[in-house]
Amino acid sequence: MKYTYISDLKDHVGKEVTIAGWLYNKRSSGKVRFVIVRDGTGICQTTAFKPEVDPAVFETCDKLDQETSLKVTGVVRKDDRAPGGYELSIKEITILGESKDFPISPKEHGVAFLMENRHLWLRSIKQHATLRVRHQVIKAVRDFFDNRGFTLLDTPILTANACEGTTTLFETDYFGQKAYLSQSGQLYNEANAMAFGKVYCFGPTFRAEKSKTRRHLTEFWMVEPEVAFMDLEGNMDLAEEFVEYVVGQVVEKCRNELKILERDITKLECVKRPFPRISYAETQKFLQTKKEEYASSADPELKKLSEDMLKNGLGDDLGAADETAIGINHDRPVMVHRYPSAVKAFYMKNDPQNPEYALCVDVIAPEGVGEIIGGGQREESLEVLEGKIKHHGLPLEAFKWYLDLRRYGTVPHSGFGMGIERMVTWVTGTHHVRETIPFPRLMDTIWP
């Protein structure tokens, strides 16, 4: 049996087709039955009128429950009032699988309940729309790099050394030897860049972060470009062009999804280059002013924000509250560069002009989503890098292969990592990052 997808009904107006899907909703009155079917590609209203159809059709319609799987044969009609714009007049309807007491009804449910039923929650219209946007983001990410001559090279998930510090490693037993789930493909990406020039990796990464915020997952997907002979300025140019492209593609290709999600598209349409570039030192002055302004604000949310900002000391990495304050004061992403080297990873190159600061950049999204990109220029000197590894208390032996990249034809190089879920959270206007991945892994969630 060949079924027609609901998204293709426009090509079959006036013809008889069979669609297969699940009951999304139904309505009835004396002589008419409306059976609304979803098949993953769209939603279609199918209709039966008495006495035009066989009484058996009416009987079947009355037996349908939410999420019953079924197939419907009928003629396609264009109808602008129908959801999706096309209707089917039911000639035949068959139940494929029953669905008694589907747990997620159209009424409100608590998030804990929905998360326990994530495998079924995925069928809801908003979850479906969010994950379609995720798909488009991933496609745009790949197109962006593929169209610019980058080679995709996968990096290992099982690794013997830490990339982003040792505190958030998931440890595993590798045939009697300690191994860790990768926090980032960067170190291997650097080796790949020395062989291929422009590369990117895209895969799952793991962080045993004990933070229950709306921005943190323990397993998330990251895309990481790495380019030989590129400096920090070039890295910021690339990040900016990349973010503009991905957001632009979503706005262009996901109109329907963004509408379902009630996303204010004007907020995305202004995401155009150039993005503001502000040094960490400059952000400190800006944040100090905002802290004072918000402390005396009548808005309780801003007052709370200023209290949260106070918890972060001077010279620290930017806290979530600081990022929020930066984000809500700009209409496009902000690139904060040159953080104090003390708060950044061992591989960062120090700024020759001011060695207390690192040649790094974080891209902070507007609307309070926080950091979507982290990256920078890598230290290319063998001696300096060895010193940094020791200073960070990391075992030199484990980095022997990585140091070889500085031993044999070292060059300046840079790259960054973007978390797919943070990006999707921002473009869809979702509150919590957990709704932007089919099966989120959080500190307290590994099921389903």
Q: Does 388 contact ligand 4AD by CB under 6 A? A: no
Of 87, 244, 322, 371, the residue at the interface with ligand 4AD (CB under 6 A) is: 371
Cis peptide bond upstream of 412, omega within 30: no
Of all residues in this chain, which one has the CB nearest to Mg ion in the complex? 374
Q: Does 323 contact ligand 4AD by CB under 6 A? A: no
Q: Does 374 contact Mg ion by CB under 5 A? A: yes
Q: Does 366 contact Mg ion by CB under 5 A? A: no
Q: Does 440 contact ligand 4AD by CB under 6 A? A: no
Task: Tell me whether residue 383 is exposed, middle or buried, using C-beta atoms within 10 angstroms of its C-beta: 0 to 12, 13 to 18, 19 or more.
Answer: exposed
Q: Does 370 contact Mg ion by CB under 5 A? A: no
Give me the least distance between CB of 163 and Mg ion, in Å please.
12
Partner whose footprint covers residue 372, from Mg ion, ligand 4AD, none (CB < 5 to 8 Å by kind) = ligand 4AD
Q: Give the span between the Cα atoms of 337 and 357, in whole angstroms.
A: 9
Give me the least distance between CB of 126 and ligand 4AD, in Å please.
20
Largest CA distance in the chain: 87
Q: If you compute the radius of gyration of the chain from its CA atoms, what whole number of angstroms results? A: 26
Q: Does 224 contact ligand 4AD by CB under 6 A? A: yes
Stretch that binds ligand 4AD, among 215-223, 264-272, 290-298, 330-338 (CB under 6 A): 215-223
Partner whose footprint covers residue 209, from Mg ion, ligand 4AD, none (CB < 5 to 8 Å by kind) = ligand 4AD
C-alpha angle with apex 131: 21 to 263, nearest 5 degrees? 110
Using CB under 6 A as the binding rule, the residues of this chain from 416 to 435 that contact ligand 4AD are: 416-419, 421-422, 433
Q: Does 327 contact ligand 4AD by CB under 6 A? A: no
Q: Give the span between the Cα atoms of 357 and 349, in whole angstroms.
A: 9
Of 17, 114, 228, 372, the residue at the interface with ligand 4AD (CB under 6 A) is: 372
Of 19, 114, 222, 268, the residue at the interface with ligand 4AD (CB under 6 A) is: 222
C-alpha angle with apex 176: 170 to 181, nearest 5 degrees? 20
Give me the least distance between CB of 358 and Mg ion, in Å please.
12
Q: Which is nearer to Mg ion, 225 or 374 (CB)?
A: 374
Listed residue (48, 39, 31, 50) closest to 5, CA to CA: 39
Q: Which is nearer to Mg ion, 215 or 263 (CB)?
A: 215
Of 186, 249, 350, 428, the residue at the interface with ligand 4AD (CB under 6 A) is: 186
Site size toward ligand 4AD (CB under 6 A) is: 24
Listed residue (50, 45, 47) closest to 81, CA to CA: 45
Strands 32-38 and 43-49: antiparallel
Using CB under 6 A as the binding rule, the residues of this chain from 119 to 178 that contact ligand 4AD are: 163-164
Q: Which is nearer to ligand 4AD, 334 or 372 (CB)?
A: 372
Q: Does 358 contact ligand 4AD by CB under 6 A? A: no
CA distances to 280, 405, 422 from 335, rounded to whole Å, are: 10, 28, 16
CA 63 to chain centroid: 39
Q: Which is nearer to Mg ion, 114 or 318 (CB)?
A: 318
Using CB under 6 A as the binding rule, the residues of this chain from 194 to 213 that contact ligand 4AD are: 207, 209
Stretch that binds ligand 4AD, among 130-138, 253-261, 280-288, 410-418 (CB under 6 A): 410-418
Stretch that binds Mg ion, among 141-149, 200-208, 228-236, 372-380 (CB under 5 A): 372-380
Q: Give the span between the Cα atoms of 126 and 410, in whole angstroms.
A: 49
Q: Which is nearer to ligand 4AD, 60 or 136 (CB)?
A: 136
Of all residues in this chain, which one has the CB nearest to ligand 4AD in the complex? 374
Q: Does 368 contact ligand 4AD by CB under 6 A? A: no
Q: Does 333 contact ligand 4AD by CB under 6 A? A: no
Stretch that binds ligand 4AD, among 130-138, 218-226, 272-280, 439-447 (CB under 6 A): 218-226
Kindly list the residues in this chain that would bind ligand 4AD in the complex (CB under 6 A): 163-164, 184, 186, 207, 209, 216-217, 220, 222, 224, 371-375, 415-419, 421-422, 433
Kindly list the residues in this chain that would bind Mg ion in the complex (CB under 5 A): 374
